[in-house]
Amino acid sequence: MAQEVPPDLVATAMDYRGRTVYVAQSRLDHIAEEHPDVRHDDLIPAIQRADRRTRGNRPGVEKLWARTIIPKRNFVILVGYSGRTGMVLTAYTTRREPKEDDLI
């Protein structure tokens, strides 16, 4: 079953595995409030350039990791997937790398 298009859709992107990812205004508002270091302009390029992924904290959730967006930091986007579509849940930056054992 595919992810439903959110009523407050502001953008879509294709991840590196060819899956469609929706970006809703409500999630952008959450990211701006909780992770002010994340620029909205960086979100779509990060989804498109993410080249590693790890499991999220619940079934169907993945963390997409992009190295090339912000110097010396990883851009991490949590996406809830259903079939070949997903919804951005949140995004943040970190200096740490994903653990090799967590990669999927």
CB 22 within 8 A of CB 3: yes
pLDDT score recorded for residue 1: 56
Residue corresponding to tokens 């620029």:
39
d(CA 44, CA 22): 10
Mean pLDDT per 10-residue run, the chain (104 residues)? 84 96 97 92 94 93 89 92 96 93 92
Can you state the percent helix, strand and coil of the chain, rounding each to 5?
20, 40, 40
Q: How far apart are the first and last CA of the chain?
A: 22
